[in-house]
């Protein structure tokens, strides 16, 4: 397995453990893999926050940027999905359903809350070649574990601060 791919899947394995504790499960329509259109490795998990909210956790690794990105897209369940079995298996069909619904993006920032100059919107890996997959996996997972509490607290409504950037989107369907 190539180093970038191994790094992505090793980090994903650790991140999934934390996300499963928060109620996220594998997304049935999206496969964790290389996405050529975005030039990134991507994984998506999903959870249903009651009957009216759907949260989609996204993890992306951009090899050209040497960075990971973690975010949650929260939308209202306007299409009456009651469970995982109601989600279409076709990724295009699911994307068409939720993309044009208003949603909030909760972007997890990297850094420490007490130092505003250390906050970035991505989690960096070393640019050195060859890539040390074990140490970089440990570094990214340690940073994610430290900061993920803020993300999940923000989703629960218990955190407002610099480590989670919340942006509202309303994308209009092309005519």
Residue with the bigger pLDDT between 79 and 149: it is 149
Does 175 fall in a domain?
no
Bridge partners of 72? 57, 106
| pTM of the entire predicted model | 0.89
What total of structural domains would you count in the chain? 1
Does 96 fall in a domain?
yes
> Cα separations (Å) of 113 from 71, 107, 140?
18, 15, 17
The helix or strand, by DSSP H or E, that contains position 133, with its residue range, turns out to be helix 133-155
Does 134 fall in a domain?
yes
Q: Among 6-10, 149-153, 168-172, whose mean pLDDT is lowest? A: 168-172
Does 165 fall in a domain?
yes
d(CA 83, CA 37): 29
Residue-level pLDDT at 60:
96
Average predicted confidence (pLDDT) for the chain: 87
Q: Residue 101 belongs to what domain range?
A: 3-169
Residue-level pLDDT at 72:
96
Q: How many CB atoms lie within 10 A of CB 17?
A: 11
Does 18 fall in a domain?
yes
The pLDDT confidence band at residue 91, using thresholds 50, 70 and 90, is: confident
Does 174 fall in a domain?
no
Does 41 fall in a domain?
yes
Cα atoms in the Cβ-side hemisphere of radius 13 Å centred on 104: 15
Residue-level pLDDT at 113:
53
Does 95 fall in a domain?
yes
Alpha helices in 47-123 (DSSP H): 91-99
């Amino acid at each position: 397995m190539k180093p970038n791919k191994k790094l992505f899947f090793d980090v994903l394995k650790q991140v999934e453990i934390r996300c499963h504790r928060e109620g996220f499960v594998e997304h049935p329509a999206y496969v964790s893999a290389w996405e050529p259109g975005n030039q990134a490795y991507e994984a998506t998990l999903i959870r249903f926050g009651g009957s009216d909210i759907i949260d989609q956790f996204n993890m992306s690794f951009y090899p050209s940027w040497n960075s990971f990105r973690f975010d949650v897209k929260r939308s209202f369940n306007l299409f009456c999905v009651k469970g995982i079995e109601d989600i279409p298996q076709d990724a295009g069909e699911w994307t068409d359903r939720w993309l044009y619904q208003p949603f909030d993006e909760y972007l997890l920032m990297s850094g420490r809350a007490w130092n505003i100059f250390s906050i970035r919107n991505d989690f960096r890996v070393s640019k050195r070649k060859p890539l040390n997959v074990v140490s970089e996996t440990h570094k990214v997972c340690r940073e994610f574990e430290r900061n993920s509490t803020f993300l999940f607290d923000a989703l629960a409504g218990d955190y407002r601060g610099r480590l989670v950037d919340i942006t509202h989107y309303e994308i209009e369907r092309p005519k």
